[in-house]
Structure 1
C-alpha cells in the first residue's frame, strides 16, 4: 500500500519541481517581458485592461512575482507531502496493521455491539436489522459512487491533457481526481483554466476540443455514472437520489452528499415497513358478523 502511494507521490513532486523550473527558465528567457503587450492585444481582455487601466496590475514585475509565488507554493506543497509520506512510511504500515487488528475485533464482537444498539431502538428485531442494513448499504454505495466517478473523471480528463500536450498531465490528473467530488466546480476547476489559456493564447482548436471534452464527457459522466452506481446498489429512483443530494448539500454542505441519500433511504424503508405492517394488520383483522337481511 505504501509503495504505490510513495511512487505516485514522487512522480507528482518531480513534475511539480520540473514545472517550477520551467516557469523560472521561461521568465529568464525574457518572454515574460513581452507577455503584458501580448495580453493587451487580446480582443476582450485587452479592451477591458485598456478601459479600466492596467498600469499597476499587468506589469512584468507583478506577473513575475505572481508566477514565481504560485510555482514555489505548488512545488513546496508536493515536496512536503512526499517528504512527510516517506518519513512516516513506517507509521503508515503500523497504522495499517492496527487497522487490521481493530477490524478483527469488529468482525469478532461487532454483532454484540450492534445488538446493544438495536436494544434501544423501539421496533421489532427484523425491522431494526432491516434499517441498519439499509443505512450500511447506502453509505457504502455513496462512497463507492463518489470514488469511482472521481477516478473515471480524472482519467478521462487526463487523456485530454496528454493528447493536447498540456504540461504536467500527471499532476493535473491527480488534482482533477481530488476536486471531482466537489459539488460546485469539480473538474472544471482544472480543465476550465486550460480552456481559457488555449482560447486566448492559442492554438484555439485545442481550447475548443478541451471545452467540448470537459463539458460533454468529463462533467457529463458525473450526472449519469454516480447516480447509476448509487441507485443500482440501494434501489433508489434516480430522481429521488438527485433531489436528496441537492437537498443534503443545501442543508448540510458537502457532508450532505451522504446524509441526503441516507435520509431518503431511511424514509423509503420506513414507508415499506409501515405498508407491510398496515397490510398485515388489515389481513389479520377478522371481519364483523354479517348483517341479517
Structure 2
C-alpha cells in the first residue's frame, strides 16, 4: 500500500535514504576489509609489538635525548640483531640434524635392537608392535622402502610447516619494522586510540577502555609470548652447545609449550635423561643438566616480573587463543591469538562489571 499523506511520504523517503546510506557504508566497509585483509596479520602483529615496546621507547628517549624516529630505529635494529644470532644457530642445528639422520640411514649404520619377546603378550597392540619392531631390527632398509610413500607425505607436511615457520619469521621482521614506524608516531597513535574508544564508548569510558586494551596487550605479550621466547632462547642455546640431535626442532617445541602455558619440563627432563644416559655423569653433562633444568623453570621467575601488572588473564583463555590462532592463521596466529582473545576477554568482563547503579534501591533506602 502506497503512502497517502505527506508525512507518510516524507517518512518513507527518509527510511529509504537511511537504507541506501547503510547499504553504501556496508559495501564500502566490506571493500576496505577485502583490500586490507592480506595485511591484517602484519598490522596486528606490528600493533602488538609497538604497544609492547613503547614504554622502552619512552625510557630510551628520555635517557638518550634522541628523536622518536631515531629511538624507534635503534630498537628495531637491536631487536633484529638479537634475533638473528639464536635463530641462525637453531637453523644450522636443525639442518645438521636432518642431514646427519639422512646420512645415517643411507649408510646403513643405524641398527635397531631386537624387541623383547614379552612385548608380543601386550593386549591389543602387542603382536603388531612386536612384528613391526622385529622387521625394523632385521631389515630396516626394506621396511623404509615399504613406508616410503607414507613417509613422503609426512615429510612434505613437515617441510610445509617449516616453510610456514620461516614465513612467520619474515613476517615478524616486517612487523617489527612497521612497529618502529608506529612508535615513531606514538604520541599521535595514543591520541587516536583514545579518540576512537571515546567515539565508541563515550567520553567517560573511552579512555578507560583504551588503557585496558593497552595493559592487556602488554601483559600477554610480555608475560606469555615474551617469556616463551626467552625460554626458547635459553633452552635452545643449551641444546646447540651440547650438540643435542634436533636441537632446533626441540627449541621450537619449547616455544610452543611456553605459549600454550604447558611446562617446558616435558622436553627438558627427557633431554637431560638422554644426555646422562649417553654421556654419563661427566662434569659437562652435570652442568648441562643443571642449566637446562633451571632454564626450563625460568618461567616461574619471569612471570611475576612480566605477567599480570593489574591484568588477570586465565590460562585457558591463553591456551584457546594460541590453539585457535594457530589453526586459523598458522604459526603467526600462535602469537597473535592469545593477545586478541585476551583483549576480548578483558573487554567483555569490563562491560559485565560496568553495571549502572540501581537508583530505585537507593531511593527506597533514602525514604
Q: TM-score range with shorter-chain normalisation?
A: 0.5 to 0.7
TM (norm. structure 1) is 0.57
How far apart are residue 183 of structure 1 and its match? 2.3
Matched, 1:150 2:249: no
Gaps of 5+ in 1: 289-293
Q: Partners in 1 of 2:199 and 2:168 — Cα distance? A: 43
Matched, 1:51 2:127: yes
- The one of 255, 259, 262 aligned to 1:178: 255
Give the equivalent residue in structure 2 for 1:119: 199
Q: Partners in 1 of 2:205 and 2:168 — Cα distance? A: 45
Conserved in 1, the CA contact under 8 Å of 2:216 and 2:311?
no
TM (norm. structure 2) is 0.48
Conserved in 1, the CA contact under 8 Å of 2:238 and 2:292?
no
Give the equivalent residue in structure 2 for 1:291: none
How far apart are residue 145 of structure 1 and its match? 0.5
Q: Partners in 2 of 1:28 and 1:253 — Cα distance? A: 37
Matched, 1:40 2:110: no
Give the equivalent residue in structure 2 for 1:246: 316
How far apart are residue 234 of structure 1 and its match? 1.8
Deviations 1:217-265 (A, max 9, x none): 555554664366322x1254xxxx4xx3325646995567443476357
Deviations 1:69-126 (A, max 9, x none): 699769967996899899x89xx67x766554455556436524631441231x5x24
Q: Partners in 2 of 1:25 and 1:136 — Cα distance? A: 51
How far apart are residue 149 of structure 1 and its match? 1.6
Give the equivalent residue in structure 2 for 1:131: 209
Residues 156 and 109 of structure 1: is their aligned pair in 2 closer, same or farther, counting only changes over 3 Å?
closer
Gaps of 5+ in 2: 1-76, 326-336
* Greater RCO, CA 8 A, separation 6+: 2
Residues 131 and 46 of structure 1: is their aligned pair in 2 closer, same or farther, counting only changes over 3 Å?
same
Q: Partners in 1 of 2:320 and 2:91 — Cα distance? A: 36
How far apart are residue 137 of structure 1 and its match? 0.7
